[in-house]
Every structure is written in structure tokens, then in C-alpha cells.
Amino acid sequence: MKKNVTIVMLIFSLVISSFSFYTSAEASGFADVPSRAAKEVNYLAERKIANGLSPSVFGAEQAVTRAEAAAFIGRALQLNGTKRSTSFKDVSSGNFASGYIQSAVERGVLSGYDGGYFRPEQKVTRGEMAVMISKAFGYPYGGTLTGAASALMSRGIANGMEDGTFGAGQSILRVDFAVFLARTMNPAFRVKSTSSYTQVAPSVMNKVDPRLASQVVILDPGHGGKDPGAVGFGLKEKDVVLDTGLKVNELLKKTPLQVHMTRTGDTFPSLSDRTNFAKSKGGDLFLSIHANAFNGSANGTETFYYSSSATNQYVSDSKLLAEKIQRRMLMAWNLQDRGVKQTSKLYVLKYNDMPAALAELGFIDQESDNQKLKSEYWRTAVAKAIYYGIIDYYNAKGYEVDALYNVAK
């Protein structure tokens, strides 16, 4: 999709990760960039993602402000940077980064402080940087600084400090921010990671349909934050569906498909936030994950799609997706088959612009369904099922996907 050139390139780079895009350290002409960071700064400068303070001075040793970080990330994501009024009292339309700040906040990549302040001149800490990059590039991080630090370290984007900590509270220099952002965008720059973070194996990449790399899958774990969803036997729907969604995400990351989650932590995006996010990522497939509740007497698995083309024209593909997901969930959990159902209501299906389905794994307030929902083992099983359902969908759409069935084994 048009907006995802960066991500396509990122995936492409995984295949050719031994190839170095840049050999010249002087191209950008900054006198104050140390040679250790030259290729990364050049990479960003050539793409107009990081500007210098002047043509010859990058400002390498200066701390990054929140406004600068918003501009770096906003340009990297190709957000709308047109200067304009913002929702913050302390960011006027004249601020150089006002457009990027507003776009990033609307996209959920950055957030402000209580009372309507953004604090554009505040220095960014290493921990905040890790959260910003995790949110911007869709790395699951569990909503914590520690989680964000390990999301970056496990990918070879950031290292820990010499004392063995991440240095989350330390402010970060412009040159280091640039290095981390360049490594995020181009895996060829990454350092060795000690973690087991999985990349797309060349054996998989070589066997599957190259068109898959431009396909964008949006996973939407329902509810979150202040909204627990349905509750049964002390188990909250928001926790079950997030964990399941993260497991599906981990499997999809091993494929060439691009995947984004509407939430990766205990946050509460509104329904319109979710569909806007999906559209802004250029989504080609949207799957919302939920658990059901009635009054303790209903049970089983069901999957919905929006049945009118009035607001989401992808009726037949949505139905196909729902059928594939439902079939696999039944195979995995063997709960009662409540069927694939049409709906004229569910917001995230109705006000979307791509094939979309909503899976109800089971009834959280019914004892035997709840046994499955609360079990790590069974959640892993249903996450695999959902993954297989997505692959089945692409198979039915005529993509060569055989190698992807081995990924979840």
C-alpha cells in the first residue's frame, strides 16, 4: 500500500540484510556527527527525516526535545506535518513541529500530559524514546518502560548501558535518537541481539507469494484500559483478548505480512480510534478479538461480519474471512458452533474500509468456555487457529501461502 513503503523496504531489507545501503560517511556533511553514527544519520538526512541545526551542524550532542522527537518520528511515518493548531495549550500553530505533534497524537503514537500540555521543550528520556518507537512501529511492549526497552533491545535497535541497565531515565542525545530510529527503519543497521526475537526466515520468504509483503493485517483486541469488557469468574475479557491478540501478532511477524495492533497494552482506544488506525495503516484485513457473555447460560464460538455494503463495501471478503476464522477456532477449541453471523451494527466492522470480522472466542461467564479462555495453553491454541484462519483467507484469495502453515508449528 502507498503509505507503507518504509515497511515494505524494512521487510525487503530482512532478506538482504548483509547488503549495506551506504558506504559514504560524509554524504550529509555534518561536521559534528561521530563516525560511529555517520551512516545512520546520513540515512535519515537523505530521506529528510532528520535535519541538522544548520547545513554543517547536526547538533549531535544536544538532548532531543519532545517536539524534535515528534518531528523525527512523524517524518519517518510520513505523517501530515503541515503546521496547524493543536489540542495542546503549549503548542501553537507556529511551532515547527505542530503538525507532526498533532498527527502523532491523533495516531496514538505520542501522548500529552494532564491539563492539555505537551511540553514540547522537555528533554526526551531513553525510556520515553523506547515507548515512542515501540508505539510508532507497532512493537508489543506491554505498556511499560521496561517492556519498551526490551522491545528495542531484542530487535538490536538499542543496547543497554555499560552498567547493565537501559538507562531509562537518562535524556537522549540527537545523535543517539537518530541511530535508534535508523536501526528501526532499516534492519541492516541493527546490532546483534541476544534475544530470540524472530525475523522472517529466508526459507519462508523465498517460498511464499511476494505480494503478501504489501498486505497489512490489523489485529484489534477489544476493550482495554477503563473498559474491562465482559467479566466472568474473575477473568476480564480485555486481558484474555489482548493476550490472544499478542500471540497471533507473534505468529504473523514470522511471515512477510505486515501486522499492526490497535492496542498492545492495557489501553482503551475508542471504536473510531480503532477504525481510523486501521485505515491510516492502509489495512487490508481487520480482525477484532472478543469474548462473549450472556447470563451464564449461553456458550460457544461465533464470528461476525458486516452484511450491508452501505459503509464497508467488502461484504463478500469479510464473510470469507469470518468463515475461515470461525472454522479454525472450532477446530482448536471444539466449543459449540454458534456460526458465522451477519451484523448491521458492530462499529469496527461497519465503519471500516477493508475486509473485517469480529471473533467471539467463547463465553467468559459460562464455566466450560471460561476454562478455555483462562488457560494459557488454550489461548495459545486459539491464537494459532486465528493465525491459520488468516492464512486460509489469503489462500482462498489465490495467494501462495503453503510455507506459512509451518510457521506456527
Residues binding Zn ion (CB under 5 A): 222, 229, 290
Residue bearing cell 506491554: 142
**Closest distance to Zn ion from the beta carbon of 222 (Å):** 4
- Whether the CB-CB separation of 348 and 303 falls below 8 Å is answered with no
CA atoms of 8 and 215, how far apart (whole Å): 9
Can you read off the three cell numbers belonging to residue 172?
Answer: 537522549
DSSP 3-state helix, strand, coil percentages of the chain (rounded to 5)? 40, 15, 45
* Residue 288: CB minimum distance to Zn ion, A: 8
Closer to Zn ion by CB, 143 or 222: give it: 222
The CA distance from 65 to 171, in Å, is 9
Query: Of the two residues 247 and 290, which places its CB atom closer to Zn ion in the complex?
Result: 290
- Compute CA 178 distance to the chain's CA centroid, rounded to the nearest angstrom: 21
106/266 with CB nearer Zn ion = 266
Q: How far is CA 191 from CA 185, 194, 214, 255, in A?
A: 13, 10, 26, 22
**Cα separation, 208 vs 219, whole angstroms:** 22
Nearer to Zn ion (CB atom), residue 229 or residue 355: 229
Q: Of 232 and 389, which has the nearer Cβ to Zn ion?
A: 232
The SS3 of residue 221 is strand
Closest CA to 304 of 328, 288, 285, 293: 288
| Residue 360: active-site member | yes
Contact 97, 71 (CB under 8 A): yes
Smallest distance, Zn ion to C-beta of residue 11, A:
32
Q: Please identify the residue of the shown chain whose CB is closest to the bound Zn ion.
A: 290
Q: Which of 40, 68, 128, 360 is catalytic?
A: 360
Query: Shortest Cβ distance from residue 364 to Zn ion (Å)?
Result: 9
Q: Compute the least distance from the CB of residue 232 to Zn ion, in Å.
A: 12
Return the active site residues. Answer: 360
